[in-house]
Structure 1
Amino acid sequence: MHLLQAFVGSLLPMTEQDFALLTPHVAARTVAKGALLLEAGQVCGSIFFVNTGFFRMYYVGADGHEVNCRFAEAAGFLTDYQSFLTQQPSRYSWQAMQAAEVLVLPYALVQRLYRESPGWDRFGRLMAERVYQQVNERIELLQFLTPEQRYQHVQRHQPALLQQVSQAHLASYLGVQPESLSRIRHRLGQK
């Protein structure tokens, strides 16, 4: 709970009273390596805060291949925001890439926090803005940058990702085949 409180406090100072509205209703859940926290077709009924571990968000394309579109590590939130907001089935799956522990914030709790606390309501808006920025950055990464520029972007902004995921998962995230990623890495090593 301390990691969550520190993360929240880094974005928005929260009173002890506001935080006390959350504390008794949050449950910890362990997730085994390889297990799905959310499976495509399920409604995302919670927001999760990652205490430990690492997750990937992916969907299965029309060709049957998995496409990675996001990663989440400790001290961060993860959810399918569209499914969470609409309470409609998700198109995405969240898989633990390492054994993990998450804190579970159910939909009803989040909605109650928004109603009862201006601090939590503001925090929710800040998180929604952050989600929008992440989604927009992902879209622009794929639309406006070459595969080599995408790889360089990850090197600059998410360097730990290069150590945490396999070449196949990284290639999928970058929108290239693993062989193309090998060539990009080789070319950049030559410069």
Structure 2
Amino acid sequence: MDHLKAVINSILPMPDQDLERIVPLINCIAVPKKSWLLQQGQVCKYVYFLTRGIFRMYYVDLEGNEINCRFTTKNNFLVDFQSFLSQQQSRYYWQAMEDSELMAFRYEDVQQLYLQSISWEKFGRLIAERVYQQLNERIEMLQFLSPEKRYLHLMQTRPELFSQVSQFHIASYLGIKPESLSRLRKRLSINKRS
């Protein structure tokens, strides 16, 4: 709970009375490695706070390939915002990449928090803005950066992923084939030594 409060306060400092409103709403859940928190066709009914583990958000393209579009590590929120806000079916999967633990907050409870507290309403807006920025960053990375620059950008902005996520999944996230990622890493390694 202390980690959750610290993360909330780092995003928006909140009075203690507002912070305490969230305590009775917490549902703790465990998700085993390779299990899904959300699958395509289901409605995202919760906002989650990850206390242990890592998740990947992916979709399946028309050829049947799994395309990673987001990774969430501990002490971060995760949600399929489109499905959550509209209460419509998701197009994505959220899969645990290791045994994970989360705090879950129901859609109805989140909506009540927004009505009860201007701090929570502002917090919800700030989280929505962060999710938008993360998704837009990936879109622009794929549209405007070469594979090498995508890789270097990920190394600079999310270095922890390289010790937690397989090269296969990183390649998918970067929009390249695993063998292309291997060649790219080898070339960059040689250049670094020269």
Is the TM value for this pair above 0.5?
A: yes
How is 1:127-138 mapped onto 2 (pairs within 5 angstroms)? 127-138=127-138
What amino acid is aligned across from residue 178 of structure 1 in structure 2? P
How is 1:17-36 mapped onto 2 (pairs within 5 angstroms)? 17-36=17-36
1:120-176 per-residue CA deviation (whole Å, 9 max, x = no partner) reads: 011011111111111110110000001111000011001111111111101100000
Q: CA–CA distance in 1 between the matches of 2:167 and 2:6? A: 33
Matched, 1:71 2:71: yes
What amino acid is aligned across from residue 41 of structure 1 in structure 2? G
What TM-score does the superposition give when structure 1 sets the normalisation length? 0.99
Cα deviation, residue 16, structure 1: 1.4
Task: Quote the residue 2:184 is aligned against.
Answer: 184
Q: CA–CA distance in 1 between the matches of 2:114 and 2:5? A: 17
Cα deviation, residue 190, structure 1: 1.1
Task: Quote the residue 1:148 is aligned against.
Answer: 148
Q: CA–CA distance in 2 between the matches of 1:131 and 1:101? A: 21
Cα deviation, residue 25, structure 1: 1.4
What is the RMSD of the two structures over their aligned residues, measured on CA atoms? 0.6
Q: Which runs of 5+ in 1 are unaligned?
A: none
Q: How many residues align?
A: 191
Q: SS at 1:155's partner residue?
A: helix
Cα deviation, residue 15, structure 1: 1.2
Q: CA–CA distance in 2 between the matches of 1:57 and 1:132? A: 15
After the TM superposition, which of the residue ranges 169-178 and 9-18 deviates more from structure 2?
9-18
Cα deviation, residue 181, structure 1: 0.3
Identity percentage over the alignment?
53
Matched, 1:12 2:50: no
Cα deviation, residue 13, structure 1: 1.0
Task: Quote the residue 2:172 is aligned against.
Answer: 172
Task: Quote the residue 1:51 is aligned against.
Answer: 51
Q: SS at 1:67's partner residue?
A: strand
Q: SS at 1:43's partner residue?
A: coil
Q: Which runs of 5+ in 2 are unaligned?
A: none
Structure 1 segments of 4+ aligned residues over 3 angstroms from their partners: none
Q: CA–CA distance in 1 between the matches of 2:19 and 2:11? A: 14
Q: SS at 2:154's partner residue?
A: helix
Cα deviation, residue 8, structure 1: 0.1
What amino acid is aligned across from residue 93 of structure 1 in structure 2? Y
Q: CA–CA distance in 2 between the matches of 1:140 and 1:88? A: 26
Q: CA–CA distance in 1 between the matches of 2:58 and 2:130? A: 19
Matched, 1:110 2:136: no
Task: Quote the residue 2:41 is aligned against.
Answer: 41
Q: SS at 1:42's partner residue?
A: coil
Task: Quote the residue 1:101 is aligned against.
Answer: 101
Q: CA–CA distance in 1 between the matches of 2:137 and 2:149? A: 13
Q: SS at 1:72's partner residue?
A: strand
Cα deviation, residue 57, structure 1: 0.3
Task: Quote the residue 2:123 is aligned against.
Answer: 123
Q: CA–CA distance in 2 between the matches of 1:75 and 1:164? A: 15
